């Protein structure tokens, strides 16, 4: 699986080096745009590095990690147990394309580095599923690399895009404008674009 899980450590946890590098900059944005209380659903939680970091820094929120991959859910559970975090629920199995999603409501949705490692149908499903959960004005946060105005924002993203489509022709960097249009059709307004390190972007959508 290309860059999906990273390395498995001897203790059973999975580790992705980019998650270690980007968790700080992402937290800076989340601290500003998330509510101070309530439940945050994280989609495609992966190794659990992010949710543990965010839950420690934002203790007023209850975090709900999820991933379709059972090995990654185990990794998340191990990290949460190790850190003894009371504000993280056990990880749930959630594939964005499988409806109905296994929860009824949430106060915010965070999804990091999913939509380029899944078919476009997953992006559409992400908006459809989130729309069913999220109250008006609440935040859907997406993070990842995107193409902008029909082109790549860096040589390294262009290379990454070719690697992704060589691995699976349905994977690849999405056009930020196409994502925004799909979001608008599903009832989300792109409220803010934040340029992030390493040619990534944070996209803050609000449910209209
Ligand atoms: C590149 S990893 C990103 C993991 C983590 N968010 C991070 O940034 O370190 C992509 C993640 O998407 C998950 N994933 C793939 N297809 C999915 C789908 N259809 N619905 C939900 N998650 C999916 C994978 O299991 C994996 O954990």
pLDDT tens digits for range 135-147: 999 999 999 999 9
> How far, CA to CA in Å, does 53 sit from each of 9, 80, 116, 200?
18, 10, 23, 19
pLDDT at 138: 98
Q: What is the DSSP string of 172-197?
A: -PEEHHHHHHHHHHTTEEEEEEEEEG
For ligand 1, atom 2, the nearest C-alpha belongs to 4
Domain boundaries, the chain: 7-207
pLDDT digits (tens, 9 = 90+) for 5-41: 788 998 889 999 999 999 999 999 999 999 999 999 9
4 vs 78, which has greater pLDDT? 78
| pTM > 0.95 | yes
97 lines ligand 1 (CB under 6 A): yes
Nearest atom of ligand 1 to the alpha carbon of 45: 6
- Ligand 1 centroid to Cα of residue 82, in Å, is 22
- 200-207/174-175 β-pairing: unpaired
For residue 194, what pLDDT band results from cuts at 50, 70 and 90?
Answer: very high
What topology is assigned to 7-207 in CATH? Answer: Rossmann fold (3.40.50)
Helix (H) / strand (E) element for 129: namely helix 120-133
């Amino acid at each position: 699986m290309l860059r999906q899980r990273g390395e498995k450590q001897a203790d059973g946890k999975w580790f992705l080096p980019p998650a270690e590098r980007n968790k700080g900059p992402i937290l800076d944005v989340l601290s500003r745009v998330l509510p101070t209380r309530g439940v945050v659903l994280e989609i495609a939680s992966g190794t659990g590095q992010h949710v543990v970091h965010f839950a420690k820094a934002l203790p007023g929120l209850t975090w709900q990690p999820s991933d379709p991959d059972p090995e990654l859910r185990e990794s998340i559970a191990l990290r949460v147990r190790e850190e003894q975090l009371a504000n993280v629920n056990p990880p749930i199995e959630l594939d964005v394309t499988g409806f109905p999603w296994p929860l009824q409501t949430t106060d915010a949705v965070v999804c990091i580095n999913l939509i380029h490692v899944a078919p476009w149908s997953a992006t559409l499903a992400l908006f459809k599923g989130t729309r069913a959960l999220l109250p008006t004005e609440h935040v859907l946060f997406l993070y990842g690399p995107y193409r902008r105005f029909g082109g790549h924002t860096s040589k390294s993203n262009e290379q990454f895009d070719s690697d992704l489509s060589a691995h699976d022709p349905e994977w690849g960097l999405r056009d930020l404008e196409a994502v925004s249009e799909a979001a608008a059709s599903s009832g989300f307004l792109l409220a803010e674009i934040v340029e992030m390190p390493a040619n990534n972007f944070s996209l803050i959508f609000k449910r209209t």
